[in-house]
Amino acid sequence: MDDHLFLSCNRLGRCVVSQYLKGILQFRLYILLKDVLNFDIFLKGRDEMALITPEQYERSLRQRKNLRIFMDGQKVKDIFDNPNIRTVIEANKASYQWALDPTSQEIMTAISPLTNDRVNRYLYICRSREDLVAKAMAGTFAAERLGTCIYRCPGLDAFHTLASTTWEMEKNLGAEYHSRFIKYLRWVQENDLVISGALTEPRGDRKKRALDWPDPYLSLKVVEKRSDGLVVRGAKINISGAFAAHEMVVLPQSAKKKGEEDYALAFGIPTDTEGLTYICQYSPYSAEREKAGDIYELGNPLFGQRETSMVVFDNVFVPWQRVFHMGEVEYSIKFVERFAKTHRMTCGGTCKVGFMNLIIGACKLLQEYKGLEKAQHINDELTEMVVLRETGRACGLASANLGREEPEGSGVFLPDELMGNVSKLNICDAFWRVMALAGDIGGGLIVTLPSLKELKNPETKKYVEEFLGFGSEVPHRAYFESDEASPELDSRTAWGGDMARGRPGHGSEDHDSKDRRL
Ligand SMILES: Cc1cc2nc3c(=O)[nH]c(=O)nc-3n(C[C@H](O)[C@H](O)[C@H](O)COP(=O)(O)OP(=O)(O)OC[C@H]3O[C@@H](n4cnc5c(N)ncnc54)[C@H](O)[C@@H]3O)c2cc1C
């Protein structure tokens, strides 16, 4: 089998485990030091490095007021106690940890020319092709370690489009949007904040323009222009992790035409601004997490599945100094296109690469547990998965390597549009194919596993260890309790359930049989 495959598979288990151990050690060190050093985001002096600790991040979230958030028909009283929301906080904390960790600092931070200081990669605007490549690599790095969304990438991609387009608007129109944005960016970098990015909207009948919809607020719209700012009404939907960010950056979702000036909008607001309501997604995985007595009964225990919410703007006030686009309809499309090309590189060519790596590594481990290392068709399937993964990575890197300054003179580098689009289109198919192959290697147990609680139940423990241990001499190496398997694979969550459910009745794929594909 190919060396790269071996490397990736072996690296997988170790990196997941070593990340957890490293996290625990660093957390303990922090606990020892925090009282002595009295860390606090709001006590940070101007001379200190901008990077804050994971615990400072969590503490800063606790200082927010007015957070109105609903899940499963109920108001969430304490976001820190909510098991689903907690996963987003933990993922963001990991991104703070990586920035401080000397072994990952190079990839997860960069020196900002605005602050002359080290800032988190998720707040740094690319100024060269090398920066774009580093951004791409950071996306894969994060996905491999989280096994879920790095909630900070829509905000970073929104920052790229804002830096580029506000520069162009200020140059062409004399508007002060760029100066405002740069001031905002510097403040965000100095305080090491988490930013979410919000474009997607409910929208009405797609055959019609917004002005013809009976409800004009199905796209975010200005309600009132005041001397001190704007009042807006509408909603953004599917927004990743916004409730655990400090700030939300809002961009137009689509091109705007003359007459649609009140929809041509971009701004940044604190996530606890009055008038905002978060209505969270809720799925069987959310219910499973709420029901679990111990998160370690779940797949991806700490970081969970990707969490989004609908964000309702019910007459929300935005001060002028936070408005970066208002009414210049010919520029709305530039915000959208520049976001799309940046995000497609990130989402298609980097983070899905990391997820695929986890799934492939987990499949390799399953192959070994079952003693099927020599089964040629499984090795072929693993090889195909690696080829799909590396094609995804190649598209992302090509997009970064062909990136250019846009517009010329702005100092902002954006990925290549064609390769960004190819990244997305390629990964849309490749990801499902990898899941289908993983479903084959995993077999029926991916869908039919009993609960991990059976390992704590004296009446069933011995049976589960015996019959799901695949003959292993180490009881805890039971199929579904492997501490090396990927967080996505551990308990059926997130990847295989629906795919594998379509596979019963195919019979077992006997590795001695010549015709294995029946
Ligand atoms: C897990 C997750 C996280 C996300 N996070 C974010 C986030 O952080 N921020 C954010 O802004 N967004 C986010 N999104 C939203 C995501 O970007 C959108 O879901 C995506 O752009 C598709 O838009 P849509 O869901 O409205 O689908 P639709 O636009 O409804 O698309 C459905 C189908 O209809 C077709 N279609 C739609 N309109 C037309 C038309 N006019 N003509 C012809 N065909 C049409 C589409 O091509 C597609 O085939 C997230 C989505 C997911 C699933």
Can you spell out the DSSP letters for 10-50? HHHHHHHHHHHHHHHHHHHHHHHHHHHHT--GGG--TTS-S
- Give 448 Cα–ligand 1 centroid separation in angstroms: 32
CA 407-412-413 angle, to 5 degrees, is 95
- Give 64 Cα–ligand 1 centroid separation in angstroms: 30
pLDDT at 37: 34
Find out whether 286 and 84 touch, Cβ atoms under 8 Å: yes
In this structure, the dihedral spanned by the alpha carbons of residues 381, 383, 384 and 386, taken in order and rounded to 10 degrees, is: 130
Find out whether 268 and 187 touch, Cβ atoms under 8 Å: no
Number of helices (H) and strands (E) in the chain: give both, helices first: 15, 14
pLDDT at 66: 84
- The atom of ligand 1 lying closest to the CA of 306 is 1
- Of all protein residues, whose CA lies closest to atom 1 belonging to ligand 1? 306
- Give 423 Cα–ligand 1 centroid separation in angstroms: 17
Sign of CA dihedral 342, 347, 351, 357: negative
Residues 182 and 188: their CA atoms lie apart, in Å, by 10
Contact partners, residue 361, CB within 8 Å, separation at least 6: 8, 9, 10, 11, 12, 13, 486
pLDDT at 21: 38
Residues 66 and 375: their CA atoms lie apart, in Å, by 58
- The atom of ligand 1 lying closest to the CA of 200 is 11
Among 443, 461, 421, 488, CA closest to 143: 488
Tokens of 356: 């695929």
- Of all protein residues, whose CA lies closest to atom 7 belonging to ligand 1? 239
- Of all protein residues, whose CA lies closest to atom 51 belonging to ligand 1? 238
Instruction: Provide residues with CB under 6 Å of ligand 1.
Output: 154, 197-200, 206, 238-240, 306, 308
Residues 427 and 393: their CA atoms lie apart, in Å, by 9
- Give 25 Cα–ligand 1 centroid separation in angstroms: 41
Among 495, 415, 481, CA closest to 147: 495
pLDDT at 48: 53
Residue with tokens 């901008």: 50
Please state, in angstroms and as integers, the Cα–Cα distance from residue 65 to each residue in 27, 68, 233, following that order: 27, 9, 20
Tokens of 359: 């799934």
- Give 200 Cα–ligand 1 centroid separation in angstroms: 7
SS3 223: strand
Find out whether 277 and 312 touch, Cβ atoms under 8 Å: yes
Tokens of 230: 């704007």
pLDDT at 311: 98
Host H or E run for residue 189:
helix 177-191
Residues 57 and 50: their CA atoms lie apart, in Å, by 12
Find out whether 419 and 395 touch, Cβ atoms under 8 Å: yes
- Give 320 Cα–ligand 1 centroid separation in angstroms: 29
- Give 451 Cα–ligand 1 centroid separation in angstroms: 34
- The atom of ligand 1 lying closest to the CA of 343 is 17
SS3 195: strand
- The atom of ligand 1 lying closest to the CA of 151 is 8
In this structure, the dihedral spanned by the alpha carbons of residues 487, 490, 496 and 498, taken in order and rounded to 10 degrees, is: -110
Model pTM above 0.75: yes
Find out whether 182 and 224 touch, Cβ atoms under 8 Å: no
- Give 199 Cα–ligand 1 centroid separation in angstroms: 10
pLDDT at 35: 35
pLDDT at 296: 87
- Of all protein residues, whose CA lies closest to atom 39 belonging to ligand 1? 206
- Give 306 Cα–ligand 1 centroid separation in angstroms: 16
Q: Does the N-terminal peptide bond of residue 458 adopt cis geometry, omega within 30 degrees of 0?
A: no
Out of 200, 309, 344, mutate this one to test ligand 1's pocket (max ligand atoms within 8 Å of CB): namely 200
SS3 285: helix
- Give 238 Cα–ligand 1 centroid separation in angstroms: 9
Residues 342 and 132: their CA atoms lie apart, in Å, by 10
- Of all protein residues, whose CA lies closest to atom 12 belonging to ligand 1? 200
Host H or E run for residue 421:
helix 417-442
- Give 22 Cα–ligand 1 centroid separation in angstroms: 37
Tens-binned pLDDT, residue by residue, of the chain (518 aa): 333 433 343 444 333 334 433 443 343 333 333 333 333 333 344 345 689 999 999 999 999 988 999 999 999 999 999 999 999 999 999 999 999 999 999 999 999 999 999 999 999 999 999 999 999 999 999 999 999 999 999 999 999 999 999 999 999 999 999 999 999 999 999 999 999 999 999 999 999 999 999 999 999 999 999 999 999 999 999 999 999 999 999 999 999 999 999 999 999 999 999 999 999 999 999 999 999 988 988 989 999 999 999 999 999 999 999 999 999 999 999 999 999 999 999 999 999 999 999 999 999 999 998 999 999 999 999 999 999 999 999 999 999 999 999 999 999 999 999 999 999 999 999 999 999 999 999 999 989 999 988 998 999 999 999 998 888 776 555 555 544 444 444 433 333 333 333 333 333 333 333 333 22
- The atom of ligand 1 lying closest to the CA of 196 is 8
Host H or E run for residue 265:
strand 265-270
Adjacent-strand bridge partners of 240: 308
- Of all protein residues, whose CA lies closest to atom 26 belonging to ligand 1? 200
Sign of CA dihedral 351, 353, 354, 356: positive
Tokens of 486: 């990927």
- The atom of ligand 1 lying closest to the CA of 154 is 8
Out of 151, 212, 237, 238, mutate this one to test ligand 1's pocket (max ligand atoms within 8 Å of CB): namely 238
- Give 15 Cα–ligand 1 centroid separation in angstroms: 33
Burial 33-49 (b: 16+ CB within 10 A, else e): eeeeeebebeebeeeee
Listing DSSP states for 427-466 in one string gives HHHHHHHHHHHHHHHH-THHHH---GGGGG-TTTHHHHHH
- Of all protein residues, whose CA lies closest to atom 44 belonging to ligand 1? 206
Find out whether 480 and 491 touch, Cβ atoms under 8 Å: yes
Residue with tokens 């700012």: 229
- Give 237 Cα–ligand 1 centroid separation in angstroms: 9
Residue with tokens 């062909």: 402
- The atom of ligand 1 lying closest to the CA of 236 is 11
- The atom of ligand 1 lying closest to the CA of 199 is 11
pLDDT at 510: 37
